Amino acid sequence: VFKNFKEKKSFRPEYGVDGIFGGWLLGVKSMSGLALYDWDSLDLIRRIEIQPRHVFWSESGELVCLATDDSYFILRFDATAVTNARESGELPNDGVDEAFEVQGEVQESVKTGLWVGDCFIYTNGVNRINYYVGGEIVTISHLDRTMYLLGYVARDNRLYLGDKELNIVSYNLQLSVLEYQTAVMRGDFPTADRILPTVPSHYRTRVAHFLEKQGFKEQALAVSTDPEHKFELAVQLGNLEIAHELAKEACSIQKWRQLGELATLKGNLDLTKKCLWEAQDFGGLLLLATSLGDNDMVLKLAEDSKVHGKNNISFVCFMLLGKLEKCLDLLIDTDRIPEAAFFARTYLPSHMSRIVELWRESLLRVNEKTSQSLADPKEYDNLFPGLEDALKAEQFLKPERQRLLPASVYKSTLPLNERNPVEEMKEAETASKFHYDFPGIAEFYKTLADSETESKSEDNAGIPNAVAFKEVS
């Protein structure tokens, strides 16, 4: 080992020498790997079991890149650990294990490289210029031919490269960005904050992505200028205020849904409601409205979902509100006439004749015989047993379904599957608590009585089957 052109020391490495590397430590490559020695004492600092082709040290001596044929390793050198080992007089023969800490490994071939601060800039085997900082790889440019790094001029913010024909090219590489990233990697945020104003605005989002990758999401949110990136960061940080403002600016259904989920997790139900309306998430609105017991919200949802063609949601809302006539009209409007007929038979028998007429008209265009086979209760009441009781039960239950009960009475309310509406109606009628007064019912049954003898004397083969409501053999 020479110093100032004079031989200072000499030694024979244990495993021979295949190559040597300069830098903060003397690197000796052999078949067994790389040995790193102190320049002054020639003490073995660390033995590393890889055989690098290149060794690149940073200016501070804190970082080193070991580049092999198909990958490279970034290590951090801890000089303090070496000093402590020396002072304790326990410098191991195989070196100090704590002297180096692996910061990253990248499966990429390095052709030429250099350090600027804590950023390692290099050209790779596929003719790209990249730089590595804090585990993140940034591509500066794609080259159209093989070129070699010459150096970086901080004053001009330029990175210079040359080729075998002595052609020189340069690329813009902002020193302020590299300095900011270096300060962050060292945990020196006061310095990073002083550098930030010098970072051009169009580089801010790149810096924000770097901060996010390092786990500094709050700082990344403050730095980023990309609304998409800011929104994602705000959601990750649970910042409802910023996320709300960005969602309003973006007018994106997806963002409103994301914000709605976050607001739900945070327990901000007012914001959740607004987000669900903006996102037109009618299923979510139905769940929220029923959970809150908000009748006005359920009614608004019923009307809005109908306008937007979400008929299933609209139907459920009207059903929950006891607006059975609205449910029936919705089935008719959506051309679900058979379903409307069965619905009327079950809940609104007073509308059966109207629905049968509509059903007949719809079938008439397809099959006249099938259309004529449908029985109308006004004409064939004998095919509809219990019709009068059903009509009475409908009127008996109408005031109840129009009266919306609070959730507090749930435990004291008899479950629907345990109720018998007809029996309840008859008991109320017997106790004079219910009086049947259906409009036009007297005339309806008078007509049925007058025509009973005549209809029954006709040939029964001419009577249509009540295929809609009752299977007749």
Q: Looking at residue 11, what is its pLDDT? A: 77
Predicted confidence (pLDDT) per residue in 396-407, tens digit: 999 888 888 888
- Whether 150 shows a pLDDT value over 70: the answer reads yes
Q: How many CB atoms lie within 10 A of CB 349?
A: 21
Which stretch of 46-60, 169-183, 190-204, 453-467 has the lowest confidence by average pLDDT?
453-467
- Whether 78 shows a pLDDT value over 50: the answer reads yes
**Pairwise CA distance, residues 12 & 330, whole Å:** 95
Per-residue pLDDT band at 462 (split at 50, 70, 90): very low
Q: Looking at residue 29, what is its pLDDT? A: 92
Predicted confidence (pLDDT) per residue in 2-15, tens digit: 777 777 777 777 77
**Pairwise CA distance, residues 152 & 175, whole Å:** 9
Per-residue pLDDT band at 335 (split at 50, 70, 90): very high
Q: How many residues does the chain have?
A: 473
Instruction: Quote the tokens at residue 222.
Output: 């403050």
Residue with tokens 């008859």: 426
Residue 132, beta-bridge partner list: 120, 137
- Whether 205 shows a pLDDT value over 50: the answer reads yes
Query: Exposed/middle/buried for 8, CB within 10 Å: 0-12, 13-18, 19+?
Result: exposed
CATH fold of 2-180: Methylamine Dehydrogenase; Chain H (2.130.10)
- Please state the separation of Cα 20 from the chain's center in Å: 52
Per-residue pLDDT band at 439 (split at 50, 70, 90): low
Per-residue pLDDT band at 148 (split at 50, 70, 90): very high
Per-residue pLDDT band at 330 (split at 50, 70, 90): very high
Query: Mean pLDDT, to the nearest integer, of 63-69?
Result: 94
CA proximity to 348, closest of 404, 405, 397, 417? 397
- Whether 186 shows a pLDDT value over 90: the answer reads no
User: What global pTM score does this model have?
Assistant: 0.67
- Whether 389 shows a pLDDT value over 50: the answer reads yes
Query: Taking the domains of the chain in order of start, what are their residue ranges?
Result: 2-180, 280-321, 325-462
Per-residue pLDDT band at 438 (split at 50, 70, 90): low
- Whether 447 shows a pLDDT value over 80: the answer reads no
